[in-house]
Amino acid sequence: METAEIQRRWLTYFGDRGHSVVPSASLVSDDPTLMFTVAGMVPFIPYLTGVVPSPFDRATSVQKCIRTLDIEEVGKTTRHGTFFQMNGNFSFGDYFKEGAIGFAWELLTSSEADGGLGFRDSDLWVTVYEEDDEAYELWQKVAGVPTSRIQRMGREDNYWSTGQAGPAGPCSEIYFDRGSEFGPDGGPAVDDTRYLELWNLVFMQYAIDNVRSKVDFDVVGELPQKNIDTGMGMERVAFIKQGVANMYEIDQVRPVLDRAAELSGRKYGADPVDDVRMRVVADHVRSALMLMTDGVAPSNDQRGYVLRRLLRRSIRSMQLLGVKEASFPELFSASKDAMAPAYPEVASEFSRTLSLATSEEESFLGTLEAGTTILDVAVSKATDAGQATLDGDTAFVLHDTYGFPIDLTLEMAEEAGLGVDQERFASLMSEQRDRAKQDAKKKRSQVADTSVYREFRQHGETVFLGYDDLRNESSVLGLIRDGIAVSSVGPGDTAEVILAETTLYPESGGQVADQGTLEAPGVVATVLDVQRPVSGLISHTVHVDQGELAVGQSVEVLVDEPNRRRARQAHSATHLIHAALRDTLGPHATQAGSLNRSGYMRLDFSWTQGLAADQKLEIEAIANRAIHDDLEVSTKVLPIDEAKALGAMALFGEKYGDTVRMVDIGGPWSRELCAGTHVASSAQIGVINLVHESSISAGARRVEALVGMEALSEFSRERELVAGLQQTLKAPRADIPARIDELINQVRQMEKTIESLTQKGLGGAIERLAPTATTYGPVNGVVGRADEVASADDLRHVAQNVLQRLGSGAQLVALGADIAGRATIVVVANSDAVDQGVHAGNLVKESVAVVGGGGGGKPQLAQGGGPDAAGLDKALETLASSLRQL
């Protein structure tokens, strides 16, 4: 049974039984405390916790999820995957334990011909919370499961909570018995490898408090509304139904694994180490494909860093399989073909995602080359010091800072005859993971903070009136100070104000929050920020300047009109620049983020290379022509499917409901889904001055522009700059570029003259030193001073040229110089000298110790120095003596 068919059966089954079928949310979580959607219930948290009233009594979804905490286990077990799909059914005060158990058992055990999943009753086991007698009895009554296959488990395994005070409840899990060849008898309590968890049913029925740990808390009562949250692991069901050994061999993953095997010329199943590498590639390529389809781009922080790590681990694994050249075009194409039947957007966005992937691969292949150089130096130092192992700190820095994979470090160190302190490396990695987990735990703990908004949200959604008006009368529904609801706030207080309606725009869609005031007789509060802490609710953070604000009070809401006007100009300018980018570069130059504030706009877009000067001029010109043409700006609220059919762009990172707001500028030329505020016609923008374009990550660029009066001010500053250049260069405006080129050429010619004179001086040193070669033990060489040089680079240049003059045989040159009051020594030797026991690095270390310094290097080239320039002759004599003793 194909994975897409399991998805279809799931949604059909629950849809036919009165559940609202909810599309998968983006992998980019709405929850500000989560980077990704990590579980199927995440999009439903506001409804399950009661913060936001649920729009449906029962729902079902197949949710895309990403988890990377156990990334090191990927490929080694049957079930660890970074991307997975969680099939869920949810009840919000509707059915409870009996209904959830009945649905789960019927879908699992009904025949495939009847639309079920066709599992045999006898292969399924159930666990319940040890004190949940109700669930224990219902499994027997509703599903007919014998008590011999129902096991009671403790809080550690069968109790769900957020880890904070709030809703919680017992769990019941369904396991599949894979057979005696996978482990001992005795059910999931004995072996969870043989008995594989398929489905988890959470019965959210209690309120808990005084949470001391996952298993230590106080149950303080029953919830007024009992909810159901269940999750069935799609990949686990798929690999059982498809008769394969693990999740990496199912139909959505195996094609990538097979392509990796073909490219490497190695056979899957022949070598356990290679098998793990192929499974890592298969998993990570799929995860990266899905993340990029949802708008994530590789970068060095947050979501982009996780994506970059997945991509780099894939490249690393292909390298260890012997594939040194780029392979992403082949691997990602295989993954696209496998995932598109379930997620059509994978195909429609593939050109953009492949461009991001190949750009990252090209960049990282260069990083691997640079990392190899860094590792070579570290290996050389370890060898010089007589160490048998490379220290774990170096391996960790290479891995964590430079992105150089530990597997390659191990392999290359072994080639140099060194081990790696893996225990220290593992310890540092463990510390890093612990920090990440603690940070994640800290962030998760903030989820419960939204409960303070529950009471206010139950009054309904905050009505936003700001599209048409800049002031309104409203009533204070609630006040929050330091995270706690209060009845009033006074002068000097900073607090959140919940209003019934507002004209103040809350930050969203790249547009910053409005500025303004809340006023009443004797009361003035300055608005510091406006946000949507939960869906449908607008919160105003204010500083109370005078008087007292109280719940139930009437206030006048006043928007700062000049600031709003300039923000509107910037937001509409962003739409124009986006359309101009697509006109100039093509449809793949899609927006990936924006910032619009008074007089300034910033737009990030998908593109792999810097814009040429003529492209930037063209983009700016197209946008300003649209302003000149005074295009009408119109908005319309309509169903999302209808808006998309009209060609409206839905932008990454934005969340849309069934009904959307569509903004047209000049008709279909610029047509986007957008909740922001805009000008009435393009001429009101004034002018756009494109001031900067840069890279923000592989495959993503950023343009920045000034808008309106700020753009005019910048033009004035540039005019003053040009006038100053005219005066300084004594040239008319049109001649300034040529005059600057002329000056640059003059400077370059002077630099060449200086370099030539320097080289002539160095040539004299070479001619003087080469004839002084004499025998030092087993080698012929020159040991002397070269005070003609001005830098260490010059000293190396002279030494290497003298060595070339000495010809064949065992030859060495050791030169010293007083450079800016510091004794500097360089030693170069040919391979024959090294064969005779010469090690340039050791010679330098010994000699520079005389001048109070340090240094070292490889057997054929080394450099060092010290502060005691007066001791240079003694240092060179020490070096010569060491040579004679070889």
Q: Look at the alpha carbons of 804, 806, 807, 812 in this order and tell me if their dihedral is positive or negative.
A: negative
Instruction: Please give the Cα distance from 673 to 314 (Å, whole number).
Output: 35
Beta bridge partners of 485: 480
Instruction: Please give the Cα distance from 663 to 646 (Å, whole number).
Output: 12
Token look-up 């962030």 returns: 443
Residue 30's pLDDT is 76
Fold entry, domain 564-717: Threonyl-tRNA Synthetase; Chain A, domain 2 (3.30.980)
User: Are the C-beta atoms of residues 91 and 99 closer than 8 Å to each other?
Assistant: yes
For the chain, the structural domain boundaries read: 3-242, 252-444, 459-559, 564-717, 759-884
Q: Is the pLDDT of residue 445 over 50?
A: no
The second-level CATH assignment, the architecture, of 3-242 is 2-Layer Sandwich (3.30)
> Is 284 within any annotated ligand binding site?
no
> Is 65 within any annotated ligand binding site?
no
Q: Report the candidate in 444, 673, 652, 532 with the shortest Cα–Cα distance to residue 26.
A: 652
Position 392 confidence tier, pLDDT thresholds 50, 70, 90: confident
> Is 575 within any annotated ligand binding site?
yes
Beta strands in 461-584 (DSSP E): 463-464, 471-481, 484-486, 488-489, 494-499, 501-502, 516-520, 523-534, 537-546, 549-550, 554-559
| Residue predicted with more confidence, 351 or 77 | 351
Quick one: CA torsion of 718, 724, 725, 727, rounded to 10 degrees? 150
**Which CATH code, of 3.30.565.10, 3.10.310.40, 3.40.50.11540, 2.40.50.140, is assigned to 759-884?**
3.10.310.40
Position 57 confidence tier, pLDDT thresholds 50, 70, 90: very high
Residue 825's pLDDT is 95
The class of domain 459-559 in CATH terms is mainly beta
Average pLDDT over residues 571-583: 95
Q: Report the candidate in 227, 175, 234 with the shortest Cα–Cα distance to residue 202.
A: 227
- What's this model's pTM, rounded to 2 decimal places? 0.69
SS3 annotation, 433-486: HHHHHHHHHHHHCCHHHHHHHHHHHCCCCCEECCCCCCEEEEEEEEEEECCEEE
Residue 442's pLDDT is 45
Residue 856's pLDDT is 83
SS3 annotation, 319-358: HHCCCCCCCHHHHHHHHHHHHCCCCCHHHHCHHHHHHHHH
Residue 654's pLDDT is 59
CB atoms within 10 A of CB 405: 20
Q: Is the pLDDT of residue 447 over 60?
A: no
Instruction: Please give the Cα distance from 623 to 618 (Å, whole number).
Output: 9
| Residue predicted with more confidence, 755 or 675 | 675
> Is 543 within any annotated ligand binding site?
no
Position 438 confidence tier, pLDDT thresholds 50, 70, 90: low
User: Are the C-beta atoms of residues 62 and 341 closer than 8 Å to each other?
Assistant: no
Q: Report the candidate in 143, 283, 147, 254 with the shortest Cα–Cα distance to residue 199.
A: 143
Residue 443's pLDDT is 39
Average pLDDT over residues 503-527: 95
Token pair, residue 835, equals 């064969």
Token look-up 């949604």 returns: 11
